Structure formats: structure tokens, C-alpha cells
Copies of this chain bind each other. A is one copy, B any other.
Amino acid sequence: MHKPGDLINIVTKDDSFTGIYIPQKDEKFISIKLDNGYNIGIDKRKIKEIKVIKEYKEEKREIPKTKQKKGLKKISILHTGGTIASKVDYKTGAVTAKFTPEELLEMFPELKDIANIDSRLIANIMSENMNFSHYNLMAKEIEKEINKGADGIIITHGTDTMHYSSAALSFILEDLSIPVILVGAQRSSDRGSSDASLNLISAVYFIANSDFAEVAICMHENIDDENCLILPGLKSRKMHSSRRDAFRTVNTIPFAIVNTENKSIKFLRKEYNARSNKKLRLKLFDEKIKVGILKSHPHMYPEEFLSYKDFDGLVIEGTGLGHIPTDKEILEAVKKIKAVMVMAPQTIYGRLQMNVYSTGREIQGLGILGNYSDMTPETTFIKLAWLLSNYKKEEVKELITKNLRGEISERTEKEAFLI
């Protein structure tokens, strides 16, 4: 009989799968961890045969104590869960994410030559379950680390909503004096094929060797394990469900390309906030704020709008330059919405231009804001919720289309000509 941690081979009618056996609560499936880092569940009814290929033996190793080296920068790594921080405990099947500095340095020994690392777990959550309370938690923990003298922060994070979190931290952390880099992985860290290693080492190298002091994401440039990009926290997005280079900038270019092999950092953008002596201030999220996202589509019904009537805010993902259907029933529904309504482009790329067509002007007349913005829908959602948490309604309406932290690109001369 197979035991947790055993390498097993499962034969179904049509297929054969080999991986590490992981016990699960769900009794209908047998779960194994494949060599590529994914867990898969195989329907027990379809299984013809299970063979144990190699039994699991617990390794007992002594972890060497590491010393802090003088002269190196102090970097705090705060773990929040997700694929990057995950290690499978083959005894219980649970994914643990309890890295001591020693364990982490053992996994990534390169780190200790680049910086003095302090590492702890502040949450253990799949990123699809992140909410405003987690943004506040991360911000408070970052503040603690800064007060303890950290030269830079790395947040390890699930990739699903990492771009929402990077946007949230960009707004919360006012007068940030050091870099805060979010790092994720598309494959868990204890597999040879994981992208975790390069992403993490590149982030540490970048913090240790630059004067950059903004919130950014560090992920693969392409599917080769060579370069990582430093992506702006407010203008990036997960654009692929599984590729390691899933994170892309929108309406801008990355801050920098990092290559740890060649020990090089190439800045693509000259303008960024550098390290300073500024004193951090936190402008946190109000966890009671209700903001929804509604995507415009053909054949809409008024109730799709009306369900957000009593929300505090509503992001509308419009088509094209910022449009929704303009039949009478829809416009009547829009009129009843008390939420602050803000348009965002469902094309993802490009800028809203709601004065070009009369329909665009008509819906602006009904209070839909956001004209000329080139924020992603995700950044628009985070900004609206953050503004509603910290400002009066009239201020929110003014600030939503004003560039506060680099979230809205300056209009080029050609664009600005379209009023």
C-alpha cells in the first residue's frame, strides 16, 4: 500500500501518471504531485492499478546556522502563502509555508552572498482569497520591518491576485522609502522545475544593487529561466493562466530587467522613486467598503446594474473607448445606482475616450466617471476601494481620474488632442 511521500505510478484506462502521493480530504480522488510541480487529482473510479515506485524516507539533516554578514543590505521576506511559499509535507499532505531564515537560505544558498535575509510567515492563504484585511496586514508588517531597519521588503504571494495586491500596497504605502517587491511562482518551490528560485533571487539581487524604492512585481521575462522583470505595481497584470512570464505591463514598460547570472540590472525607465529618508504613512483600506466590478456585454439586463445599487463603488468594464448599452432600460437602471461609478477598459490595453461618441457623453452625464484613464480594470477597482476608504465622496470623484502614484500614464500630445 502506498504511503504519503511515496513515488507512485497510477494507471487509468487511457493514461499513466507518476508522482508523489499526497493524502487529501476528498475521498473521490487520489492526489499526486507531478514532476512539473502541479498537483493533480485522479478519479478513483478510473484507476486500474497503483504501483509504488520509490518509498518515501524522511531525511534528517542538520541545518547550518547562518551568520549575518556585515556590509550587506538587510532584506525582510514576508510570506503570505501561495505556490511560491509552498512545500508539501508528505506526512500530512498539507502545504506548509513555514520558512525560517535558515531553511530558506538552505533552499536558495545564493541569497546569503547577496544580502542579510530575515524571513517570516505573516499569512498562509491562496491569493484568490485575499481581501482588504490582508492588504492592511501586509502594510502593517512592512511598516514594522522598516522600523526595524530593513533596506528592502519582499512579499511572496500567490500569483492569482498578485497584481491587485501590488496596486493596493502602492496606494496604502505613502512616502515609501525602500523597495517593496512582490514575488510569486507558477510552480511550487520544492520542485526542480520551479520558477520560484529565479524570481526570488532576482528580487533580492535587485533590491541589494539598486536605489529603487517603489512597489513592484518581480517575475520571469519569458519562458527561459534567464531574466526577470521589475514590473510596476500599478500597471501590470497576470495575462496568462499558467506561463511563467504571465505578468505583463499594461500601457507602459517594465522598470528594469534583472539577470543574476551576469549580475546585471538594466533600467528601461529612468524615472522612478529612489530611496529616501521619507517617513512612511499608512492609508489603510476600510474593510466594510463594498465595490463591485460589472463587465459590459451584449444583451445586458437592467438587474445586472441594479444589483450594485447600494454598493459604495462600481467599476464598469466598458467596451471600446468606454461604452455600455444605451437602451432606455439600462440607462434607467444606471440612474438608480448610488455607488460611485467608474469606467475601465475591457480591452485591457489603451485609454478611455468618452467624449468621442455621443453615447459616451450621455453616460458621463449619468455620473459614470473615469474618462481619459488608462488604468487596468483591476487597478481601477483597487484605487476606487482605497479612495472610498480614505476620502469623502466628492474627493473620490475628483481623485479617481487624477494620477496619484503613477497609475495613470500621461497623455501623449496626439492623445491629448482628443479633448
Contacts and interface: CB of A to CB of B under 8 A. Distances in A.
Given A132-B299, A303-B307, A350 B40 contact: no
Contact of A319 (B34, B160, B352): B160
Interface stretch (A148-156, A272-280, A356-364): A356-364
A297 interface: yes
Contacts of A17: 417, 419
Given A297-B293, A304-B307, A319 B357 contact: no
A24 B12 CA distance: 68
A278 B145 CA distance: 70
Interface string A163-180: 011000000000000000
Interface string A287-309: 10111110111110101100100
A33 B418 CA distance: 10
A98 to B, nearest CB: 19
Given A246-B347, A381-B297, A320 B239 contact: no
Contacts of A238: 319-320, 347
Contacts of A299: 131-132, 287, 289, 291, 385
Contacts of A127: 319-320
A293 B292 contact: no
A26 interface: yes
A321 B159 CA distance: 10
A303 B291 CA distance: 12
Give how many copies assemble into the complex: 2
A42 B419 CA distance: 8
Interface in A383-419: 385, 417-419
Contacts of A26: 358, 361
Of the four ranges (under 10, 10 to 19, 20 to 34, 35 or more), the interface on chain A belongs to 35 or more
A370 to B, nearest CB: 12
Given A26-B361, A160-B319, A359-B128, A347 B297 contact: no
Contact of A327 (B129, B165, B242, B357): B129
Contacts of A126: 323, 326, 357, 359
A317 interface: yes
Contacts of A39: 356-358
Contact of A290 (B130, B161, B301, B319): B301
Interface string A340-375: 000001011111110111110100000000000000
A319 B160 CA distance: 5
A51 interface: no
Contacts of A323: 126, 128, 160
A361 B41 contact: yes
A135 to B, nearest CB: 8
A267 interface: no
A241 B347 contact: yes
A90 interface: no
Closest CB pairs A-B (n = 6): A241-B350, A307-B307, A160-B320, A160-B319, A128-B323, A131-B299
30 contacts: A17-B417, A26-B358, A38-B418, A39-B357, A40-B419, A41-B358, A41-B361, A41-B419, A129-B327, A131-B299, A132-B298, A132-B299, A158-B320, A159-B320, A160-B320, A161-B298, A164-B297, A238-B319, A238-B347, A240-B350, A241-B322, A241-B351, A242-B321, A242-B351, A290-B301, A292-B301, A295-B317, A297-B378, A299-B385, A304-B307
